Structure 1
Amino acid sequence: MNFHRGSNPYVGQVSLKVQQLERSLTFYKEAIGFSVLKQTETTADLTADGKTVLLSLEQPDNVIPTPRKTTGLYHFALLLPTRSDLANYVRHFAELGLRIGSSDHLVSEALYLSDPDGNGIEIYRDRNPSEWTWRNGQVEMAVDPLDFRDLLSHEEEKPWTGLPADTVMGHIHLHVSELQTTEKFYSKGLGFEVVNRFGAQALFISSGKYHHHIGLNTWNGVGAPKPPENSAGLKSFTLIYPDEAARNRVVANLGQMNFNVHQEGSGSIATTDPSGNRILLLVREEISI
């Protein structure tokens, strides 16, 4: 089942603010394997397939480092097509001498690292949904050690050539200031469903019974403030809805709940979650796929 091209909402693109654009471009091209689709002196659009923007970078004026203990990005996650692709990344990162984290989440296998500004990145592959375990509407996930020996036995003998063209933005995980109002915003407002509660400090939401399109946590502290506008970190992310009618329902829901929604000059509709994370609401016809 395709959880990132179907009739349910999903995360399409992430936009980041960085301190030094050229430094970030070197990292994202050489370490992660993106190609540059479009670039100016202060911005760049990055792609895996040569047409679809997955990640945008911007160097704001008077940019400052991301403050500690604020809301914003925990990590964005790139979903690879196959397990052998993930194994190839293990070898690639080892050759570059990059320090990485790793985990077996039961539903997926993942590698973790950060860009030069400290923005978190996950690169992962999904297990087949038939292997996921659901109990009472909740999907079982864990933070188990990754079996590198077994993973690397699936490595293909071919040179690393960057992100596979079929890579998608699998999910985004956010630092938020609290969970109660945030849950209402994302579920009743945006139309997602809570599919896993990780204690009292994190929850995971999805559409179409995916293991999660969005993670939300208070690990930076309940009441964490929004970072300054000119700090490095998350600028925005997009949610892709199947059609205009679906997006209109979301806009109406958010309005009834007294959340701010407004149309921007580009024609996109923007909103902000209770912790200040900015979201652009798009329909599939408005993007390249």
Structure 2
Amino acid sequence: MGFHMKPTTFVGHVKIKVQNLERSITFYEEVIGFKILERTSSSARLTTDGKTSILSLEQPEHVVPKQGRTSGLYHFAILLPERSDLANIVVHFREKGIRFAASDHLVSEALYLYDPDGNGIEIYTDRDPSKWNWIDHEVEMTTIPLDIENLLMCQVAGQSWSGMPEGTVMGHIHLHVSELAKTEEFYVKGLGFDVVNRFAGQALFMSDEKYHHHVAVNIWNGVGVPKPQENSVGLKAFTLIYANEEVRQEAIDALRRMGAMVTEEKNIFITHDPSGNTIELAV
């Protein structure tokens, strides 16, 4: 979990837009296992430890369904503390009849599903970083079927799924973008990440402090795709947590030198990547 605390730069929070807040709250509480930290008539901040929020839901006015062939959210990824937690939620999903996909990425083991609005969700655990294979500054990752039966063998006797464990964090975010060259420059030269894996000229995986990825981007929705409507289901924004004011200011200065706009609201600096994805820069 050291990849999701200072001094590493990491994704601390994700805000998504939904069509029906009540329906979404029910899903994220009963299926995924979050608790409500705060809520209003149009939004809810969700928590695993009762103190901090890693995911927020918002129902925009005149909301429209998720739009295809646009930039925006591919999935947000929830990182569980223990492999046994992943095994427990597999059993939980099976008991509730929830459909999900499951993959082994060498660096991690992951489940994939969608919320009621089609927002993509990954739930995963990392393998020990000592077992990650680095070749010429790139970490080896792939997608192969997850050995579910082997995973279930790590369940602790008498233990069952009782919601997201307290040590759960937002592990990473994966985005649809309209192109890769300017996007790489924005995240690397601007925000300060390193490219740690290039996938077939179609996707980039980027991180700080040699994590397998804090942010990934792909062009699988097509090159040159537009950003979605402001009131459509999907990504509202995600928050990057910097180690201190100095490091954040370095990123802000770098972004402005590149011509990217950075605005400030209540000591939160807001910027947009070249595809229109909104990013909040926090400390």
Under TM normalisation by the shorter chain, which class is it? over 0.9
The code of the aligned residue for 2:191 comes to L
SS at match of 2:235: strand
Question: Which residue number in structure 1 is paired with residue 20 of structure 2?
Answer: 20
Question: Which residue number in structure 2 is paired with residue 73 of structure 1?
Answer: 73
Normalising by structure 2, what TM-score?
0.99
Question: Which residue number in structure 2 is paired with residue 287 of structure 1?
Answer: none
SS at match of 2:144: coil
Contact between 2:104 and 2:144, CA under 8 Å: does it hold in 1? yes
Q: Gaps spanning 5+ residues in structure 1: where?
A: 284-289
**CA separation in 2, counterparts of 1:159 and 1:17?**
31
Contact between 2:193 and 2:208, CA under 8 Å: does it hold in 1? yes
1:220 and 2:202 are equivalent in the alignment: no
SS at match of 2:256: helix
The code of the aligned residue for 1:135 comes to I
1:144 and 2:144 are equivalent in the alignment: yes
Contact between 2:85 and 2:161, CA under 8 Å: does it hold in 1? no
SS at match of 2:270: strand
Question: Which residue number in structure 1 is paired with residue 10 of structure 2?
Answer: 10
**CA separation in 2, counterparts of 1:50 and 1:70?**
35
In the TM superposition, residue 160 of structure 1 has moved relative to its aligned partner by 1.6
In the TM superposition, residue 158 of structure 1 has moved relative to its aligned partner by 1.8
**CA separation in 1, counterparts of 2:6 and 2:150?**
32
> C-alpha offsets along residues 221-271 of structure 1, whole Å, 9 cap, x if unaligned?
00011000010110000000000000000010001000010112x220000
SS at match of 1:3: helix
The code of the aligned residue for 1:208 comes to E
Normalising by structure 1, what TM-score?
0.97
The code of the aligned residue for 1:164 comes to P
**CA separation in 1, counterparts of 2:39 and 2:236?**
17
Question: Which residue number in structure 1 is paired with residue 185 of structure 2?
Answer: 184
SS at match of 1:242: coil
**CA separation in 2, counterparts of 1:18 and 1:91?**
27
SS at match of 2:102: strand
**CA separation in 2, counterparts of 1:90 and 1:6?**
31
**CA separation in 1, counterparts of 2:83 and 2:58?**
32
The code of the aligned residue for 1:8 comes to T
SS at match of 1:46: strand
Question: Which residue number in structure 1 is paired with residue 173 of structure 2?
Answer: 172
The code of the aligned residue for 1:63 comes to V
> C-alpha offsets along residues 77-101 of structure 1, whole Å, 9 cap, x if unaligned?
0000000000001000000101101
- Residue identity (%): 60
In the TM superposition, residue 159 of structure 1 has moved relative to its aligned partner by 2.9
SS at match of 2:93: helix
**CA separation in 2, counterparts of 1:83 and 1:66?**
32
**CA separation in 1, counterparts of 2:226 and 2:207?**
25
SS at match of 2:38: strand
Q: Gaps spanning 5+ residues in structure 2: where?
A: none
Say how many residue pairs are matched.
Answer: 282
**CA separation in 2, counterparts of 1:251 and 1:166?**
30
**CA separation in 2, counterparts of 1:26 and 1:162?**
13
Question: Which residue number in structure 2 is paired with residue 100 of structure 1?
Answer: 100
The code of the aligned residue for 1:213 comes to H
The code of the aligned residue for 1:149 comes to E
In the TM superposition, residue 8 of structure 1 has moved relative to its aligned partner by 1.7
The code of the aligned residue for 1:161 comes to S
In the TM superposition, residue 64 of structure 1 has moved relative to its aligned partner by 0.2
4+ runs of 1 displaced by more than 6 Å? none
In the TM superposition, residue 31 of structure 1 has moved relative to its aligned partner by 0.5
Question: Which residue number in structure 1 is paired with residue 277 of structure 2?
Answer: 277
Trace 1:1-289 onto structure 2 (pairs within 5 A).
Answer: 2-156=2-156, 157-264=158-265, 266-283=266-283
**CA separation in 2, counterparts of 1:267 and 1:187?**
23
> C-alpha offsets along residues 133-180 of structure 1, whole Å, 9 cap, x if unaligned?
000000000101100110000112323210000000000000000000
**CA separation in 2, counterparts of 1:18 and 1:149?**
34
